[in-house]
Amino acid sequence: MSPAPSLAASLGCAALLAAAGCRTAAPPGGVPAVVMQPDTGSRAALSRAVREALGGAPVLLADDALVTQSTLVVDRLPRRDETGLVVGGREFGRPERFDLLLTGSTCVLVREKTGERFALAGVSCAPLAAKR
Amino acid sequence: MDRFRITCGSRRAAAAALILLVASCGGGGTGGTLPESVYAAKCASPRSGIDAATGKPYPDVPGTVDDEKKWLRAWTDDLYLWYREVPSVDPAAYATPAAYFAVLKTQAVTASGKPKDRFHFTYPTAEWEALSQSGVQAGYGAQWAVLSPAPPREVVVAYIEPGSPAAAAGLARGAQVLAVDGVDLANGTDVTTLNAGLFPSTSGESHSFSILDSGAAVSRTVVLSSANVVSHPVQDAGPVAGHPTVGYMLFNDHLATAEKALFDAITSLRTAGIADLVVDMRYNGGGYLVVASQLAYMLAGPTVTSGKAFEREAFNDKHPTTDPVTGEALTPFPFVGTTVGLSEPSGTPLPYLTLSRVFVLTGPDTCSASESVINGLRGVDFQVVQVGSTTCGKPYAFYPQDNCGTTYFSIEMQGQNAKGFGDYGDGFVPGGAGAAGVPGCQVADDFGHALGDPAEALLAAAVGYMATGTCPAASVAVGHALGAAHAPARGGIAPKSPWQTNRMFRR
């Protein structure tokens, strides 16, 4: 028998939290923050959180993502046609934006568009002002 | 991205709207084709699971290849800008929907003899949906200019991203690639190795290059390791050396991060008190239209642009007043005088310059939103002087549309300025005649000098034109015919993404 939906969700959330981020576990509030001592693990956690927020599409991040700024802007990966020109070139929309917050000792990634919050396990953060 | 999400994520809703539209028009298909909604998402190989673009289950249901082709025809008949010019062909003659789609476009040519529609293609949806931090791509940070993709091939560095592996290796504009991983670039037959080395698809790849630096007599070997490189869309903003009242700004991409970069650059140029400005867009293929509008505002200022349209998007005559995909009323895209939250907080007034004209450096890579800057300014009678070579000629836009795992790109809109002009499918021509001719000078790209160097041919021509109103002797004078203006300059395409690499070089 499968666990009840709420229990399954909690278990799944706990598993996700252990691996990367979980929107339901993220504490409220926080101050703008940046990533401290980024490494492979923290980059992977950040990438997974962004993927989860955006429906699972793969996302390429810079090695120093959120290291010097507390805002992350995510776009479609640039594509070119076979002549080398930008596939679109005239875009009308807006990119996705995320803010990194530090609340207590937890790094939280917030999707601006929806307010969804993703706790980042294994990522060390510091307030933006302190870093500077 | 919102735009794409609306398109891909609300196709069902859009399809429902199309039923109404088609019904009101008494049928929208050619040869009795039913509305696209009848065939949408009926797939020969339906996908299962969650659509990353919407976060919802894929809408796919079992169907046939014929269903997919019928959807393509119905969709084309409704939304394609030149739907009347699409030939009637037998779908059964094409093995795949993509092959069928390839012929569902106008066969007409432009005045210069180019295909009228050069922007009709497909992309695997799973790849198209991939995301990246704004301006981040795997590579070396060297922007190659492919001057000749076929033997004898020729590739040089167009520019370098600061802080990139290429910068660390000392590569600079004008450096010529002689060999890649031991394969002769000019005449080697192993194009796979050439493409793989020049355009790494992931970070962490190492490849060996034989490089002849600009002005050097002897080549050197450089090993480059790819990384996730951050693009800097605006570089080198400041007065031109020896010309303190002339500003220069290299603008390479209408990225989200360009909002802040342009804000800072224009602020700096304003503080410097420049009286003329040269905006170098020769490698700028476009991007966010709002960034183009913001730049145009910052160049022309509020007096010239207030209440004016920067660009209007015109669909085909079936959709004169309403965007058929979003369902929203068609309203002009304004000159935007504030930040909009791309990379700066929303609502901050933009800085602007008090110029009477702007000099724009162009080439075949100057495309789409970059061309909108030129067209939008000309639409409000702000003087644009164009120096370089003819732009790419893309006054068009589309909503990429997924169906059954393939994303289709079919021109749906033409961008027009405040005067209603958008017919520059052959590009803007410096010194050219006709409506797409722009005052200025035809000058070939000059890889022998750094960008922003007053000795660089395009910048030198622009500065010379400021002083004398004439072009340098080696360039084409103002008023030359379109045909002459299309004589190939030395400028080659400067591909910025690895995607097209396996098609970049030919045997």
Q: How confident is the model at residue B58 (pLDDT cuts 50, 70, 90)?
A: very high
A92 vs B3: CB contact, 8 Å cut-off?
yes
B192, pLDDT greater than 70? yes
How many CA atoms lie within 13 Å of B412's alpha carbon, on the beta-carbon side?
Answer: 23
Where helices occur in B10-64 by DSSP H, the ranges are: 11-25, 36-39
Report the pLDDT averaged over residues B51-79: 94
The residues in A 2-41 lying below 8 A from B, measured between CB atoms, are none
For the segment B363-410, what is each residue's pLDDT rounded down to a tens digit?
Answer: 999 999 999 999 999 999 999 999 999 999 999 999 999 999 999 999
| CA B181 – CA B227 distance, rounded (Å) | 18
Mean pLDDT of B353-361: 96
Nearest to B128 by CA among B501, B497, B503, B502: B497
pTM, to two decimals: 0.87
- The domain segmentation of chain B, as residue ranges, is 2-128, 136-230+495-504, 234-398+413-485
Q: Do A61 and B495 touch (CB under 8 A)?
A: no
Bond from prior residue into A95 cis (ω within 30 degrees of 0) = no
Residue owning tokens 């022309």: B300
**Total CB pairs under 8 A between chain A and B:** 183
Which of helix, strand or coil describes residue B391? coil
Instruction: Provide the pLDDT for residue B56.
Output: 86
What percent of chain B is predicted at pLDDT more than 90? 82
Output A100 or A22, whichever has higher pLDDT. Answer: A100
Residue holding tokens 């010019």?
Answer: B85
Min Cα–Cα distance to chain B from A51, Å: 9
CB A35 within 8 A of CB A42: yes
Candidates B5, B131, B499; nearest CB to A59 = B131
Confidence of residue B33 (pLDDT cuts 50, 70, 90): low
Q: What confidence score (pLDDT) does residue B482 get? A: 23
Residue B211 φ/ψ, nearest 5 degrees: -120, 135
Beta bridge partners of B437: B429
Distance CA B87, CA B107 (A): 8
**Residue found under tokens 């929907």:** B97
Main-chain dihedrals φ then ψ at residue A7, nearest 5 degrees: -70, -40
Burial track B16-30 (b if 16+ CB lie within 10 A, e otherwise): ebbeebbeeeeebbe
Two tokens, residue B60: 């796919």
Residues A73 and B257: beta-carbon distance below 8 Å: yes
What part of B 216-235 touches A (C-beta under 8 Å)?
A: 227-230
pLDDT band at residue A14 under the 50/70/90 scheme:
very low
Whether residue B130 and residue A76 make contact (CB cut-off 8 A), yes or no, is: yes
Q: Where are the domains of chain A?
A: 16-74+95-131
Least confident of A90-104, B164-178, B289-303: A90-104
Question: In the CATH hierarchy, which fold is given to the domain comprising B136-230+495-504?
Answer: Pdz3 Domain (2.30.42)
User: What's the gap in Å between the CA of B371 and the closest CA on chain A?
Assistant: 10
Q: Which sign does the torsion angle of CA B182, B184, B190, B193 carry? A: positive
CATH number of B234-398+413-485: 3.90.226.10
Per-residue model confidence (pLDDT) at position A130: 60
Residue entry with tokens 């360009």: B258
> Mean pLDDT throughout B42-68?
92
B24: pLDDT strictly greater than 80: no
Is the ipTM value over 0.90, yes or no?
no
What are B176-186's pLDDT values in tens digits? 999 999 999 99
Region B415-437 average pLDDT: 97
Instruction: Kindly report the nearest CA distance between residue A100 and chain B, in angstroms.
Output: 14
